[in-house]
Amino acid sequence: MTTHSSNHPSVDAHVLARFYINGQWVSPAVPASLGVINPATEQEVAQVARGTAEDVDRAVAAAREAFPGWAACAPAERARVLGKIHTLILERKEELAQALCLEMGAAIGFARAMQVPLAAEHVRVARDLLADYRFQTLEGSTAIEREPIGVCGLITPWNWPLYQITAKVAPAIAAGCTVVLKPSELSPLSALLFAQLVHDAGLPPGVFNLVNGSGHEVGAAMAAHADIDMISITGSNRAGALVAQAAAPTVKRVTQELGGKSPNVLLPDADFAKAVPLGVMSAFRNVGQSCSAPTRMIVPRSRLAEVEALAAATANGIVVGNPQSEDTVLGPIANQAQFERVQSMIEAGIAEGAKRVCGGPGRVPGFDKGFYARPTVFSEVASSMRIAQEEIFGPVLCIIAYDSLDEAVAIANDTVYGLGAHVQGQDIQLARAVASRIRAGQVHLNHPAWDPMAPFGGYKRSGNGREYGVQGFEEYLETKAIVGFGA
């Protein structure tokens, strides 16, 4: 395996040192910066400006001023600008993929094939929705109008950096809202490239603003801001709860996309030779750093040995390494704190007595630098174990055995989370019946293709609200009833 030197990001020094506020690149109110670490080399590759509450005030003021004009803008005009943003993402896809590779270690092939194109899809969906969305409908003689909620604060994580940004920015501006974006401080480079292309697309000044910085400074100032009408956060449960607390005094709308511990139920009639490898790859996609990763594989006890062998063969065959290599399937974990968390959870699994089928603690052999975790599969996991209950956010899969269908469903639901779920089985009626018993916001039957129109979000502690498609768009709308409208 090879190591490699760091590349410089394709973001201009001018842009790195600034925020995008009111259509311009402006310096922070108080000069400060934060370093961006390439997880493949552990070296700093850039410094970006670090904001404070004062920068948030400036961005919110710009967004507030731009709001009436953008809200009144015809949907067709909003769609036109979104179309331009979509085109520019596709034109600049290589630059964006390289930034994602550098800032969070996304394997370049994965960034090109998934992280960037799926991010573009959220923009296309928002544009297309505007063609026939009915902002006014009649219920009897009452008109029901859907209006943009106002200024939105958008807070995003590092694991799918660009994708999480477009999942919020696109529907918000399609709805007629204006926004202040705070990207993750750990992955701010693709966000800066996104701000540049939004500018180049000709969005009016103030509609989109970006302030980089930490959660406890910039994020917290946004959550508490009296002139922000809504916050949408994707991140950990800790940050989601803090945002809701800070937002409470100003009674703003808060939507949260938080953690997950998604089950993957293999029914006895599933095609195990296909379902197990697909389940492993799906759990380990993006190095397991996906909130909806199906990290609990729930299988019939009689098939446990077969599942373990298939899972080990799949995990052992995954190419982990330099994210800039075309052959790499999994790059490093995105940052040091996350790498350490994954290590401690692997240790916890061993200490609790789970059977280690493959992988384990430590770096991938051959690497003495870079946050390369070993794809790890545990079997004979009890649902009460920490590795089955806590989100690990790394390439660690738990295999849990069941003796009856009722027990499989009970294990699937034995979690504080409820984001994603998978069911595999050839009898589609049975698979549907099991899906309807699982308490989660999105259930996938037999690994279907990704659907950008399927609403995405959590039951229980996985959050509040939905993203993607029509329901994701409607989160950014207020409802006004005009009674007597048709009288």
Residues known to be catalytic: 257, 291
Quickly tell me which residue has 């943003």 as its tokens. Answer: 85
User: Roughly what angle, to the nearest 10 degrees, separates helices 161-175 and 75-91?
Assistant: 160
* Secondary element (H or E) of residue 125: helix 116-132
The CB-of-215 to ligand NAD minimum distance in angstroms stands at 2
For residues 450 to 479, the per-residue mask of contacts with ligand NAD, x marking binding by CB under 6 A and - elsewhere, is --------x---xx----------------
Residue 246 or residue 354: which is nearer to ligand NAD going by CB? Answer: 246
Residue 281 backbone phi and psi in degrees, to 5 = -65, -35
b/e sequence 362-400, b meaning 16+ C-beta within 10 Å: ebbeebeebbbbbbbbbbbbebebebbbbbbbbbbbbbb
Residue 181 or residue 270: which is nearer to ligand NAD going by CB? Answer: 181
The CB-of-212 to ligand NAD minimum distance in angstroms stands at 10
CB neighbours of residue 283 within 10 Å: 25
Residue 79 or residue 243: which is nearer to ligand NAD going by CB? Answer: 243
d(C-alpha 260, C-alpha 296), whole Å = 11
Residue 198 or residue 233: which is nearer to ligand NAD going by CB? Answer: 233
Of 159, 264, 295, 328, the residue at the interface with ligand NAD (CB under 6 A) is 159
Of 79, 81, 243, 387, the residue at the interface with ligand NAD (CB under 6 A) is 243
The arrangement of strands across the sheet holding 263-266 comes to 355-358, 376-379, 396-402, 296-300, 263-266, 420-424, 442-445
Residue 84 or residue 225: which is nearer to ligand NAD going by CB? Answer: 225
Residue 95 or residue 257: which is nearer to ligand NAD going by CB? Answer: 257
Of 291, 307, 330, 431, the residue at the interface with ligand NAD (CB under 6 A) is 291
Of 23, 105, 215, 288, the residue at the interface with ligand NAD (CB under 6 A) is 215
d(C-alpha 117, C-alpha 140), whole Å = 43
CA atoms within 13 A on the CB side of 283: 33
Strands 296-300 and 396-402: parallel
For residues 253 to 282, the per-residue mask of contacts with ligand NAD, x marking binding by CB under 6 A and - elsewhere, is ----xxxx----------------------
For residues 371 to 400, the per-residue mask of contacts with ligand NAD, x marking binding by CB under 6 A and - elsewhere, is --------------------x-x-------
Residue 257 or residue 308: which is nearer to ligand NAD going by CB? Answer: 257
Of 148, 157, 171, 288, the residue at the interface with ligand NAD (CB under 6 A) is 157
The window from 32-40, 80-88, 150-158, 469-477 that contacts ligand NAD (CB under 6 A) reads: 150-158
The CB-of-74 to ligand NAD minimum distance in angstroms stands at 31
* Secondary element (H or E) of residue 307: helix 304-316
CA atoms within 13 A on the CB side of 416: 10
Residue 415 backbone phi and psi in degrees, to 5 = -160, 150
107 near ligand NAD, judged by CB under 6 A: no
The CB-of-159 to ligand NAD minimum distance in angstroms stands at 5
> Are 196 and 118 within 8 A, CB to CB?
no
Of 345, 373, 419, 477, the residue at the interface with ligand NAD (CB under 6 A) is 419
d(C-alpha 308, C-alpha 450), whole Å = 27
Of 234, 255, 314, 442, the residue at the interface with ligand NAD (CB under 6 A) is 234
Residue 421 β-bridge partners = 443
For residues 170 to 199, the per-residue mask of contacts with ligand NAD, x marking binding by CB under 6 A and - elsewhere, is ------------x-xx--------------
Residue 236 or residue 413: which is nearer to ligand NAD going by CB? Answer: 236
DSSP string, 67-121: HHHHHHS-HHHHHHHHHHHHHHHHHTHHHHHHHHHHHH---HHHIIIIIHHHHHH
Q: Which residues would be at the binding site for ligand NAD (CB under 6 A)?
A: 155-159, 182, 184-185, 214-216, 219-220, 223, 233-236, 239, 242-243, 257-260, 291, 391, 393, 419, 458, 462-463
